Structure 1
Amino acid sequence: MIYIIMGVSGCGKSALGAILSEKDRLPWLFRLHEVIERERRSCSDALVACSALKRLYRQILLHGSKALDSSSGPDGDVLPPTRPDVCFLFLHGDYDLIQQRMAARRGHYMKADLLRSQFDALEPPSEEENALPLDVSRSMTDMATEVLEHSVRPDLPYLANVVE
């Protein structure tokens, strides 16, 4: 089932989505994995937004329920930490900067006082995971430019053609 949460700005779309995903984290991650796999199989490009704070969550996004089976594949093989055509764009930054940005937002479901628990839960991607770290103190334009430059580098095929 695909749910499209709709309504005018400020009616609570993000808040409802957040509550539903928190109450249903594993099935939600499995559903996102299915979307990712569908797009990979069709050789399509896609952008998926998910906090993916923990390594296990990122592994579920990449490998689905196999990630829960002692990190091994169907033949007992260890699951790879990445897929060659999937890249995590890891937006990171200073707690105070992000907290100030959150406090300045109006009408968003995530309250600034909940940020500390997210920082505490965060397991930053390791070097073996396919992640491009992006410092959020930079402008959105600068970060987007870095992603676009990263996507066309021949030595980094996993992000090729993400944005044309």
Structure 2
Amino acid sequence: MSTAGSPRHLIVMGVSGSGKSTVAAGLQQRLGWPFAEGDDFHPPANVAKMSAGTPLRDEDRWPWLRALAGWIAEHDARGESTVMTCSALRRVYRDVLRRGSPGVYFVHLVGEQALLQERMGGREGHYMPLTLLQSQLGTLEPLAPDEAGLVCDVSRAPEEITAEVLAHLDLPARA
């Protein structure tokens, strides 16, 4: 991870339904750092594929991941820490994101498949269909021991997860 005083970039990762957006919003609110919803960086063709229930292929993901790394790099160059959501399912995807800054740190949200399905089934207005959850779970590569990150169980309240991340990283929440 980054050295003391240099920007930190928290990427809240996990499969669909894990609560990435909720936890990231809690972190952003508590820290006051710039926030990016990774899904907003997908080109229309990717959104159309996922909406139709077609899993993305790596060639679909590379430009998207490079755009996210670029956003991180822009903020890092300004000395700004950030919070971002991104599924970041495979290590090679996380490697691309780490190119944005040495201060990238992953918050991996994990949960039982039944809970994830329940959450996805209750969502409105999201393009990711429940049918793609199994594909994401099959693609998911958990954080390796040499990757800067924290694994958090999503069966707990988002506020508890946010507090755990802040405490683990010794990050002061703004008043």
TM over 0.5: yes
Over 3 Å counting, the alpha-carbon distance change for 1:59 and 1:116 in structure 2 is same
| Structure 2 CA distance for aligned equivalents of residues 14 and 39 of structure 1 | 16
Residue of structure 2 in register with 1:37 after alignment: 73
| One-letter amino acid of the counterpart of residue 29, structure 1 | L
Alignment gaps of 5+ in structure 2: 1-39, 51-55
TM-score with structure 2 setting the length: 0.63
Q: 1:46 to 1:109 in 2, by over 3 A?
A: same
Aligned-residue CA RMSD in angstroms?
Answer: 2.7
Q: How far apart, in 2, do the equivalents of 1:125 and 1:101 lie?
A: 23
Question: Which letter maps to 2:148?
Answer: N
Q: Please, which runs of 5 or more residues in structure 1 have no aligned partner? A: 1-12, 65-81, 153-159
1:138 equivalent to 2:174? Answer no
**Structure that is richer in strand per residue:** 2
1:58 partner amino acid: R
Counterpart of 2:47 in structure 1 is 19
User: Is residue 14–residue 109 contact of structure 1 (8 Å, CA) maintained in 2?
Assistant: no
Say which of 124, 134, 146 aligns to 1:106.
124
Q: Separation in 2 of the partners of 1:49 and 1:106?
A: 19
Which structure exhibits the higher relative contact order, with contacts defined as CA atoms closer than 8 Å and separated by 6 or more residues? 2
What stretches of structure 1 move > 2 A for 4+ residues in a row? 13-18, 20-24
User: Deviations for 1:114-152, whole angstroms, at most 9, x for unmatched residues?
Assistant: 101100000011111001111110100100101111221
> After superposition, where does 1:70-149 map in structure 2 within 5 Å?
83=102, 85-149=103-167
Distance 1:130 1:118 in 2: 22
TM-score by length of 1: 0.67
Of structures 1 and 2, the larger Rg is shown by: 1
